[in-house]
């Protein structure tokens, strides 16, 4: 069973205390929403989880292996994958080449051809097979989001962090992303979903983490979190309070 | 068929280059052969720089420094290392399998240098044998030292990108130029290090015998080196190495998040391209017969960059072809023109025209002039395939084969 344990993570940028002792654990194929207003520390936390930045203090364990001091490629190989808030496809590489990168990185000694059928299967799922030989720069913004998700399928990590996967995406593509999340979760992977689209978060997630200026102020089921006075005050606002 | 055109054209081009020295018969034979050798030299530099900058996104301006390292190591090797059958007792020397590997003292720039070996010779009996190791070992050593400096540079610039990387490598190149210029006792500074020809005793090739100054042997050495470098780079381009360095060019953070050891591939690409530049430098130094620090002036690096940009930065073959075309174009532009009775002095204006070509390429053909042509051939049918597959996906029919 997948286990991600974040223990008392602090992060300072100069005098700015961005994360203030954040702790939580992910066990098994959970589907967790990570929410918080802009500047709450969501991206910083994501960057710490994937090894892009090191925490000032605190630890992160993935399947009992400490990963907070590892470089991102070692974290990815250990089984944690992510997408980025702003899509970061390899624009001057073809769609298939984009998919081969993680597959080859995870399989030293393997040849590109060995992953062709897997890559085409992923593209079929994302309804992008016809674009396989096009350069990624030719894709729409939404298709580039799908391509990022496809790369994660090729990486095949145990824990996936999706950073704003619905931002600026056409409703038809959003359906594909919904299906993607459901499928990946059914395959036994844990997903941490970061989004400002509350509707999607509340529909999909069975557990919510709420960050507020570096503090983890709530961790629980969506309904519980919705009623949490600290969350209402800090994030959801008075309208939500009135609605509930 | 269209996709096979570049391969066919490449095969014909190689056949033409292999046959050229034997079929070209004009009076300017030596001059044209010299142009080809120089063009091959620049083609190695431009294509290896294209791999470094165009594929891996590492805009290094230190490429000529690695070339110079190769040339100078080969030069120092052929000027300082000797084998003797008796100890000199005056030079630095090591016993190696019954012989002595002698390293001369700095030779300096005096008109009649009297080395420690000369002093030893005066007291030696006539049967003492003095020889030099094959200059090919010096070239090999130059390649290895070039690779070592490439490794160190790659490791030092890991966190540098864009302008910072460019300035760092430019600084490295300038430091090297200043050091070589200043270390006159060892490198002979601006006087330059003289090197023996590639085949000091001549060579027989296809039944013909060529002397040390003949152009045919260095032509084939440089051509084969170019073909070898291009073949290695194309093999790397098609391997995981090529895929990974392109991914780190596109987005280093994203590549790393997908499991690519970006540090390893960044250093590797520096090592590979530095070794190629060093090999070109070592062979060229022996061909020209002298190497001076002027090879490191920024204009030389700018020339290599321009060749790669005009040929196509994202294409190894494009950059190599661009270098060859530009070398000949720059020579062609040496001829003065007469326009409306006015003589245009091309020794002055040719670089202006060259600069204008570079600017126009950057403005209107950012992929260079050769690369888009190659791409047009190699990506034949992709657009049609996309449309047909999409129709098939929507209509549930199989796309046309």
Helix (H, G, I), strand (E, B) or coil at B260: coil
Residue A237: band (very low, low, confident or very high) from pLDDT cuts 50, 70, 90: low
Q: Is the pLDDT of residue B317 over 90?
A: yes
State the sign of the Cα–Cα–Cα–Cα dihedral A131, A136, A141, A143. Answer: positive
Note the pLDDT of residue B112. Answer: 67
Q: What is the rounded average pLDDT of the residues B87-101?
A: 90
- Which segments of B195-306 are extended strands (E)? 203-205, 208-210, 290-291
Note the pLDDT of residue A243. Answer: 47
Residue A236: band (very low, low, confident or very high) from pLDDT cuts 50, 70, 90: low
Residues pairing with B94 in the sheet: B101
Q: Identify all chain B residues contacting A104, using CB atoms and an 8 Å cutoff.
A: 240, 243-244
Sketch the domain layout of chain B as residue ranges.
Answer: 8-78+135-293, 86-128
Residues pairing with B194 in the sheet: B290
Residue B111: band (very low, low, confident or very high) from pLDDT cuts 50, 70, 90: low
Residue B399: band (very low, low, confident or very high) from pLDDT cuts 50, 70, 90: low
Note the pLDDT of residue B390. Answer: 78
Note the pLDDT of residue B147. Answer: 96
CA-based nearest residue to B157, from B173, B141, B179, B142: B173
Q: How far does B24 lie from chain A, in Å, by closest CA?
A: 42
Average pLDDT, chain B: 90
Cβ pair A101:B258 closer than 8 A: yes
Q: Looking at residue B4, what DSSP letter applies?
A: G
Cβ pair A101:B251 closer than 8 A: no
Residues pairing with B385 in the sheet: none
Q: Identify all chain A residues contacting B254, using CB atoms and an 8 Å cutoff.
A: 84, 88-90
Residue B397: band (very low, low, confident or very high) from pLDDT cuts 50, 70, 90: low
Q: Taking each helix axis as running N to C, give the angle between helix B216-238 and helix B262-288, from 0 to 180 degrees, rounded to the nearest 10.
A: 170
What phi and psi values does residue B197 have, to the nearest 5 degrees?
-60, 160
What phi and psi values does residue A21 have, to the nearest 5 degrees?
70, 50
Check residue B312 and give left, alpha or beta (phi > 0: left; psi -120 to 50: alpha).
left
Helix segments in chain A, DSSP class H: 42-49, 72-78, 95-106, 116-125, 141-155, 171-186, 198-204, 222-227, 229-231, 237-243
Q: Is B201 buried (19+), middle (13-18) or exposed (0-12) by CB count in 10 A?
A: exposed
pLDDT single digits (tens) A156-212: 999 999 998 888 888 888 888 888 999 989 989 999 999 888 888 888 899 999 999
What phi and psi values does residue A5 have, to the nearest 5 degrees?
-125, 120
Note the pLDDT of residue B401. Answer: 46
Q: Which of B260, B263, B390 sits opposite A101 (nearest CB)?
A: B260
Residues pairing with A31 in the sheet: A191
> How many Å apart are CA B388 and CA A163, to the nearest integer?
34
All structural domains of chain A, each given as residue ranges with its CATH number in brackets, are: 3-243 (3.40.50.300)
Note the pLDDT of residue A242. Answer: 44
Q: Is the pLDDT of residue B63 over 70?
A: yes
Helix (H, G, I), strand (E, B) or coil at B297: coil
Structural tokens at position B360: 């126009």
Pairing of strands B342-344, A65-66: unpaired
Closest chain A residue by Cα to residue B240: A104
Q: Identify all chain B residues contacting A127, using CB atoms and an 8 Å cutoff.
A: 393
pLDDT single digits (tens) B333-359: 888 888 888 888 887 788 888 888 889
Note the pLDDT of residue B80. Answer: 92
Q: Identify all chain A residues contacting B387, using CB atoms and an 8 Å cutoff.
A: 130
> How many Å apart are CA B135 and CA B399, to the nearest integer?
60
Maximum distance among all Cα pairs of chain A, rounded to whole angstroms:
59
Cβ pair B240:A81 closer than 8 A: no
Among B257, B267, B371, the strongest candidate for a mutation testing the A interface, having the largest count of A CBs within 10 A, is: B257
Is B389 part of the contact surface with chain A (CB cutoff 8 Å)? Answer: yes
Is B397 part of the contact surface with chain A (CB cutoff 8 Å)? Answer: no
Q: Is the pLDDT of residue B105 over 90?
A: no
Note the pLDDT of residue B339. Answer: 82
Task: Please measure the distance between the N-terminal and C-terminal CA atoms of chain B and give it in whole angstroms.
Answer: 14
Query: Angle at the Cα of B36 (from B32 to B39), degrees rounded to 5?
Result: 135
CA-based nearest residue to B155, from B265, B305, B281: B265
Q: Which of A34-38, A224-228, B393-397 has the lowest mean pLDDT?
A: B393-397
Q: Which of B251, B259, B388 sits opposite A73 (nearest CB)?
A: B259
Q: Which of A84, A129, A134 sits opposite B254 (nearest CB)?
A: A84
Cβ pair A151:B258 closer than 8 A: yes
Q: What is the rounded average pLDDT of the residues B12-40?
A: 95
B74, B80, B109 from B194: Cα distances, Å: 10, 11, 11
> How many Å apart are CA B354 and CA B247, to the nearest integer?
32
pTM of the predicted structure, to 2 decimals: 0.89
Q: Which of B249, B250, B259 sits opposite A76 (nearest CB)?
A: B259
Is B376 part of the contact surface with chain A (CB cutoff 8 Å)? Answer: no
Structural tokens at position B31: 């001059």
Cβ pair A76:B393 closer than 8 A: no
**ipTM attached to this prediction:** 0.90
CA-based nearest residue to A102, from B269, B254, B57: B254
Q: Which of A133-137, A203-207, B374-378 has the lowest mean pLDDT?
A: B374-378
Q: Is the pLDDT of residue B383 over 90?
A: no
Is A107 part of the contact surface with chain B (CB cutoff 8 Å)? Answer: no
pLDDT single digits (tens) B240-299: 999 999 999 999 999 999 999 999 999 999 999 999 999 999 999 999 999 999 999 988
Is A109 part of the contact surface with chain B (CB cutoff 8 Å)? Answer: no
Note the pLDDT of residue B367. Answer: 84
Is B258 part of the contact surface with chain A (CB cutoff 8 Å)? Answer: yes
Note the pLDDT of residue A244. Answer: 43
Q: Is the pLDDT of residue A61 over 90?
A: yes
Cβ pair B243:A97 closer than 8 A: yes
Q: What is the rounded average pLDDT of the residues B22-45?
A: 95
Q: What is the rounded average pLDDT of the residues A31-49?
A: 91
pLDDT single digits (tens) B178-224: 999 999 999 999 999 999 999 999 999 888 899 999 999 999 999 99
Closest chain B residue by Cα to residue A85: B254
Is B353 part of the contact surface with chain A (CB cutoff 8 Å)? Answer: no
pLDDT single digits (tens) A74-110: 999 999 999 998 999 999 999 999 999 999 999 988 9
Check residue A8 and give left, alpha or beta (phi > 0: left; psi -120 to 50: alpha).
left
């Amino acid at each position: 069973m997948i286990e991600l344990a974040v223990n008392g993570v602090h992060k300072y940028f100069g005098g700015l205390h961005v994360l203030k002792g954040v702790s939580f654990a992910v066990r098994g194929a959970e589907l967790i929403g990570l929410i918080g207003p802009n500047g709450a520390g969501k991206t910083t936390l994501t960057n710490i989880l994937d090894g892009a930045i090191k925490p000032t203090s605190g630890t992160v364990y993935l399947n009992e292996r400490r990963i907070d001091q590892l470089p991102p490629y070692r974290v990815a190989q250990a089984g944690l994958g992510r997408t980025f808030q702003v899509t970061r496809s390899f624009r001057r590489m073809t769609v298939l080449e984009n998919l081969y990168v993680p597959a080859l990185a995870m399989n030293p000694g393997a040849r590109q051809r060995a992953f062709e059928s897997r890559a085409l299967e992923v593209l079929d799922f994302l309804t992008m097979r016809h674009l396989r030989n096009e350069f990624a720069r030719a894709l729409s913004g939404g298709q580039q989001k799908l391509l990022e998700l496809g790369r994660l399928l090729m990486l095949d990590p145990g824990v996936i962090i999706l950073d704003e996967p619905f931002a600026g995406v056409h409703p038809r593509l959003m359906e594909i992303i919904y299906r993607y999340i459901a499928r990946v979760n059914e395959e036994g992977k844990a997903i941490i979903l970061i989004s400002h689209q509350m509707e999607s978060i509340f529909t999909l997630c069975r557990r919510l983490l709420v960050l507020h200026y570096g503090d983890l102020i709530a961790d629980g089921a969506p309904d519980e979190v919705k009623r949490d006075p600290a969350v209402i005050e800090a994030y959801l606002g008075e309208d939500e309070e009135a609605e509930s | 068929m269209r996709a096979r055109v570049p391969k066919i054209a490449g095969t014909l081009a190689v056949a033409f280059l292999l046959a050229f020295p034997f079929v070209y018969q004009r009076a300017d034979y030596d001059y044209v052969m010299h142009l080809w050798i120089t063009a091959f030299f620049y083609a190695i530099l431009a294509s290896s720089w294209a791999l470094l900058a165009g594929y891996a996104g590492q805009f290094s301006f230190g490429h000529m420094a690695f070339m110079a390292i190769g040339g100078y190591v080969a030069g120092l090797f052929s000027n300082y290392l000797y084998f003797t059958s008796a100890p000199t007792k005056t030079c630095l020397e090591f016993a190696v399998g019954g012989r002595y590997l002698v390293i001369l003292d700095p030779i300096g720039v005096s008109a009649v240098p009297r080395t420690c070996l000369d002093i030893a010779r005066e007291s030696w009996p006539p049967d003492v044998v003095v020889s030099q190791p094959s200059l090919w070992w010096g070239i090999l050593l130059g390649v290895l030292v070039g690779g070592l400096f490439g490794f160190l540079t790659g490791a030092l610039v890991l966190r540098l990108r864009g302008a910072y990387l460019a300035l760092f490598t430019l600084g490295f190149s300038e430091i090297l130029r200043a050091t070589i210029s200043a270390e006159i006792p060892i490198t002979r500074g601006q006087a330059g290090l003289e090197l023996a020809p590639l085949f000091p005793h001549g060579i027989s090739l296809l039944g013909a015998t060529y002397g040390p100054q003949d152009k045919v042997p260095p032509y084939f050495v440089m051509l084969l080196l170019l073909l070898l470098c291009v073949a290695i780079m194309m093999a790397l381009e098609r391997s995981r190495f090529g895929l990974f360095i392109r991914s780190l060019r596109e987005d280093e953070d994203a590549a790393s998040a997908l499991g690519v050891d970006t540090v390893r591939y960044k250093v590797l690409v520096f090592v590979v391209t530095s070794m190629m530049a060093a090999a070109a430098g070592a062979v060229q130094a022996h061909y020209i017969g002298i190497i001076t620090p002027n090879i490191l002036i920024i204009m030389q690096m700018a020339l290599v960059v321009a060749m790669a940009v005009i040929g196509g930065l994202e294409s190894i073959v494009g950059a190599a072809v661009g270098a060859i075309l530009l070398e000949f174009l720059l020579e062609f532009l040496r001829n003065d023109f007469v326009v409306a009775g006015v003589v245009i002095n091309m020794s002055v204006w040719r670089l202006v025209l060259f600069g204008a070509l570079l600017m126009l390429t950057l403005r209107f053909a950012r992929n260079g002039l050769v690369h888009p042509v190659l791409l047009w051939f190699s990506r034949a049918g992709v657009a049609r395939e996309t449309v047909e597959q999409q129709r098939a996906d929507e209509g549930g029919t199989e796309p046309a084969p």
